[in-house]
Structure 1
Amino acid sequence: MNTHLPVVALTLGDPAGIGSELIARLLARPEACQRANVVLVGDRWLWEEGQRMAGVQVATEEVPAFGAVRARADTRLAAFLPVHSVEAAQVHRGRAEAAGGRSVLQVLDRCMDATLAGEVDAICFAPLNKQAMKLGGMRHEDELHHFADYLGVTGYFCEFNTLGDLWTSRISSHVPTRDAARYITRERIAQAAELIYRSLLTSGYAQPKVAIAAFNPHGGDGGVCGREEIDTIVPAVQALQARDWPTEAPFHGPFPADTIFLKARAGEYQAIVTMYHDQGQIAIKLMGFERGVTVQGGLPIPITTPAHGTAYDIAGRGLASVEASWQAFVIAAHMGHAHRQAATA
């Protein structure tokens, strides 16, 4: 029985987008099955279409259930668990539709069930579309909140965006920018900073350093441009610095948002906690849109995905780059390994 590799579930994402093509390109790399015991979960017709669009043929080993994956003695081929979540006739390439959203929800929920049952160690999903998922029945603002509700999470959770060795988190996410300031509290800053720090430790970083961003221009200029730094952010960082941590001095800041990424790019910090969505997203996507990864932080199981979307405009044209999906898979495999070790300790 081959139990040393983490079991990573891959999904094909929104059937009207580029997800199946990306997963075909990913599994065409021989090193994929060297990093994880892979189980591909999806509709057979969609998997075949993805291979055709990518111009590859990928051999898989069909399994009847998630429970059969870890027991495989030979993991040189990905396992394939076929499901029936959507008919080909229901999918119109490049369009967000209820059928596609329902398909995504059904497959992801099955993968989460398997992870909670100890049959899967991590999930890496191809791009999905929030509008389609809402049309398909999702009651939450985004997939992260769906995951958290499904998994019974009651504590703090947030998305991490990663690019190479740089991770970012944020105090607020998909909210109007005019409302961002009211989310800035000492508690949320402390929770976001600690969560990304501990996630970096889990992902193999021995001495992670986390920078905290300011909210206002020039860090508030001593209160001239705003008092969030004086009243909230600085006290939050000081409180973090006063606590005991597994590594030395992990938290620093706040630093003005227009220079903080220069410090990270120079290697001074491995993570940045930003105060609102675009403060971090613009920088990360400018630095490497085609390689960015989203990690769902604060969940009891590792879940990752490429940071880009479904790319409806190029779906079916064989143009999709696999690099962000590959990086998301590598992170899922690493975190899945740590998750498996913790579960069996």
Structure 2
Amino acid sequence: MKARLAMVVGDPAGIGPELTAKLLADRGNLEKASVLIIADRDEVEEGMRIAGRRFDYELSDKQPDQLATSGVVLWNFRGGASQQFERARATANGGSYSLDTLRAAVEITRSGVTDGLLFAPLNKSSLHQAGLRHEDENQWFAELLNVTGPHGELNVLDNLWTSRVTSHVALKDVAGLITQERIIDGIALVHSTLVESGLETPRIAVCGLNPHNGDNGSFGREEIDVIGPAVEEARRRGYPAVGPFPADTIFLRASEFDAIVTMYHDQGQIAMKLMGFSRGVTVHGGLPIPIATPAHGTAFDIYGRGTANVGAMQAAFDICVAMSAARRSMFAAA
């Protein structure tokens, strides 16, 4: 049975509405899923104007309680945003709109009207101006969904997944946050997500923290005292993890693995974005509903030009469709 996606167009000051138009104007995508867009109608129309492409939609002024098996429904919803949106800059108004539409999409998906959630790029400065107090969206999603177990952002490029032990924190704080349990949680998170996606025995590599993997303790002992023992314990718990490996070479061996666990944000993100910036996806792992988004940002600098690359949005759509279809099949079989 076809998946049903809730979709949010992201920060209105950026390229999200344009990406939405380009994605849904491709009729092949609507053969994969039915879509509920939760957005201000004017923003959707503006996105189509910028993209120079249109898609048909059924307009609703209230939350639909079900979706047709094909096509697009637009719930004309603005949340608490009361002013006109400024373009190409971070604002509290844009952040409020992003959070309100996302919150509605989470509730709709949790209720079963949709199976998964896809959102176009957000701007963290806008979100924080609007009152977000979490380090990132994943923490906010976890609170909305009452998740207390391991959860975090997973980054995906083609067939390679990464998880990270620390995420949106200052680099000076990273070493103090590297613990055995956090490393094991990072391994377990990417393992369980890949298994749920159909990969029975994921091959998982774990990065070290220090230059040259610490060089036997010459440049730090985290690999010896914390990371290595954590990998051993993860293996005892049944996770097929190996490492730690030097972070500056492990991505050269990426084809040998299905997933790489990194110690901090840029350790994996720089490599993944260099390998395929226009295809990278962020999956919000450890949550009870599938949530995916492009790994890139709002690109304020090219707002309105119609030149935004839809590749990462397409990849996020495809992953979200696959995970949502699996979730729907699971509930149908229950």
| TM-score, structure 2 as length reference | 0.95
Instruction: Give me the whole-angstrom Cα distance separating, in 2, the residues matched to 1:244 and 1:234.
Output: 16
Change (3 A) 1:114 1:89: closer
- Aligned pair 1:8/2:2, yes or no? no
Show the counterpart of 1:161: 155
Q: What is the aligned counterpart of 2:252 among 262, 283, 287?
A: 262
Q: Shift of residue 294 of structure 1?
A: 0.7
1:1-345, aligned counterparts within 5 Å? Answer: 4-63=1-60, 64-69=62-67, 72=68, 74-75=69-70, 77-85=71-79, 90-244=84-238, 250-264=240-254, 267-344=255-332, 345=334
Asked if 1 retains the 8 angstrom alpha-carbon contact of 2:81 and 2:97, the reply is no
Asked if 2 retains the 8 angstrom alpha-carbon contact of 1:115 and 1:121, the reply is yes
Instruction: Give me the whole-angstrom Cα distance separating, in 2, the residues matched to 1:48 and 1:224.
Output: 59
Instruction: Give me the whole-angstrom Cα distance separating, in 2, the residues matched to 1:180 and 1:87.
Output: 36
Asked if 2 retains the 8 angstrom alpha-carbon contact of 1:104 and 1:133, the reply is yes
The aligned amino acid for 1:53 is I
* Runs of 4+ in structure 1 over 3 Å off: 85-89
The SS at the match of 1:106 is helix
The SS at the match of 1:198 is helix
Asked if 2 retains the 8 angstrom alpha-carbon contact of 1:203 and 1:331, the reply is no
The aligned amino acid for 1:260 is I
Q: Deviations over 1:63-103 (max 9, x none)?
A: 4433221xx2x41x222222133779621110111111111
Instruction: Give me the whole-angstrom Cα distance separating, in 2, the residues matched to 1:205 and 1:40.
Output: 30
Q: Deviations over 1:111-149 (max 9, x none)?
A: 111111111211010011111112222222222221111
- Runs of at least 5 residues in structure 2 that lack an aligned partner in the other structure: none
The SS at the match of 1:215 is coil
Change (3 A) 1:213 1:99: same
Q: Deviations over 1:191-212 (max 9, x none)?
A: 1101101101222324321100
The aligned amino acid for 2:198 is G
Greater Cα shift, 188-197 or 204-213: 204-213
Instruction: Give me the whole-angstrom Cα distance separating, in 2, the residues matched to 1:226 and 1:34.
Output: 53
Q: Shift of residue 167 of structure 1?
A: 0.7
Instruction: Give me the whole-angstrom Cα distance separating, in 2, the residues matched to 1:210 and 1:101.
Output: 36
Change (3 A) 1:304 1:105: same
Instruction: Give me the whole-angstrom Cα distance separating, in 2, the residues matched to 1:204 and 1:107.
Output: 31
The SS at the match of 1:67 is coil
Greater Cα shift, 233-242 or 84-93: 84-93
The SS at the match of 2:7 is strand
The SS at the match of 1:66 is coil
Change (3 A) 1:273 1:51: same
Instruction: Give me the whole-angstrom Cα distance separating, in 2, the residues matched to 1:203 and 1:6.
Output: 15
The aligned amino acid for 2:281 is V
The aligned amino acid for 1:220 is G
The SS at the match of 2:215 is helix
Greater Cα shift, 15-24 or 223-232: 223-232
The SS at the match of 2:65 is helix
Instruction: Give me the whole-angstrom Cα distance separating, in 1, the residues matched to 2:5 and 2:202.
Output: 25
The SS at the match of 2:267 is helix
| TM-score, structure 1 as length reference | 0.93
Asked if 1 retains the 8 angstrom alpha-carbon contact of 2:82 and 2:93, the reply is no
The SS at the match of 1:38 is strand
The SS at the match of 1:258 is coil
Instruction: Give me the whole-angstrom Cα distance separating, in 1, the residues matched to 2:248 and 2:296.
Output: 23
Asked if 2 retains the 8 angstrom alpha-carbon contact of 1:7 and 1:122, the reply is yes
Instruction: Give me the whole-angstrom Cα distance separating, in 2, the residues matched to 1:128 and 1:320.
Output: 15
Asked if 2 retains the 8 angstrom alpha-carbon contact of 1:167 and 1:272, the reply is yes
Instruction: Give me the whole-angstrom Cα distance separating, in 1, the residues matched to 2:260 and 2:64.
Output: 36
